[in-house]
């Protein structure tokens, strides 16, 4: 059992199980969620008789005694608002870890603010989706100071299969942008391949079984091809969230002068899916616009 006191701010589809893993690992966990009912549900789920868990009604109350504060919220505005509230009360020597997918700019802002408060800060967006969070198999891309990362990594390991420090503040968010750029292109390629195969009269399940053993193999092919062929999209990482992430990447590209032609195109394809009513469908729903 650890004596560390940790707080988790934001109990969405990712934060809820991530905070749960920390509780199961024996940490003293305090949670906060904007919708208080979600925090109550979390307590009902993880508040076993020997668990050291509690919920608070405000960010300040949840953070003032914490050694490490984790947050996983919605967007830049949420990160800035919740992070600022947390830093006002966090004790010197504590650490704020942001698992939200947000901009590198807001990460750098909070890093500077944390320094002024003698608090450590890591931008640490995650990849692996809801299933990865629930199974403790997330990949974490981290920006910040090495000494801070070394202290926090053992705690994050309870919900991650791999985490890596990639550079100074903002590097984690920039790496997550690369991750989403890769996913967008791969999913579109898979959607077009399945569309092509169906039009050609092939048994696409059999074809996928073959080509997934060769150079075309990808996580998306292994985990999404069968559901795409079954027109099942009511799960997974939502199109609305992906468009938020791609918007961040495209904005950063305009700043650094990189060319993201394919990413911009796929982002518009996701806009088509939203117009079909698929804002909450999984990102693999790109196939629907080809039907």
Q: 65, 88, 168, 176: which one is catalytic?
A: 176
Give the residue carrying structure tokens 């909450």.
Answer: 280
Give the residue carrying structure tokens 């509230």.
Answer: 85
Active site residue 176: yes
Q: Which residues are catalytic?
A: 176
């Amino acid at each position: 059992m650890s004596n560390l006191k940790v707080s988790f701010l934001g109990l969405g589809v990712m934060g809820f199980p991530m905070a749960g893993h920390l509780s199961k690992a024996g940490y003293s966990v305090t949670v906060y969620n904007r919708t208080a009912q979600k925090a109550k549900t979390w307590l009902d789920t993880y508040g076993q008789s020997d668990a050291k868990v509690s919920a608070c009604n405000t960010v300040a109350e949840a953070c003032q005694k914490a050694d490490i504060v984790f947050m996983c919220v919605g967007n830049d505005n949420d990160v800035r608002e919740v992070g600022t509230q947390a830093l006002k009360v966090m004790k010197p020597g504590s650490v704020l870890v942001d698992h939200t997918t947000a901009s590198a700019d807001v990460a750098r802002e909070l890093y500077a603010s944390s320094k002024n408060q003698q608090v450590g800060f890591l931008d640490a967006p995650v990849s692996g989706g809801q299933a990865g969070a629930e199974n403790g198999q997330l990949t974490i891309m981290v920006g910040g100071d090495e000494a801070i990362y070394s202290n926090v990594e053992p705690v994050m390991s309870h919900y991650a299969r791999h985490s890596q420090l990639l550079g100074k503040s903002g590097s984690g968010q920039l790496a997550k942008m690369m991750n989403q750029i890769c996913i967008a292109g791969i999913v579109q390629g898979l959607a077009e391949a399945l569309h092509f195969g169906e039009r050609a009269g092939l048994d696409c399940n059999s074809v996928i079984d073959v080509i997934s053993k060769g150079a075309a193999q990808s996580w998306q092919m292994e985990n999404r091809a069968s559901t795409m062929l079954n027109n099942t999209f009511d799960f997974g990482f939502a199109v609305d969230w992906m468009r938020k992430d791609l918007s961040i990447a495209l904005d950063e590209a305009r700043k650094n002068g990189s060319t993201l032609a394919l990413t911009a195109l796929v982002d518009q394809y996701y806009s088509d899916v939203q117009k079909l009513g698929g804002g909450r469908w999984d990102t693999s729903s790109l196939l629907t616009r080809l039907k």
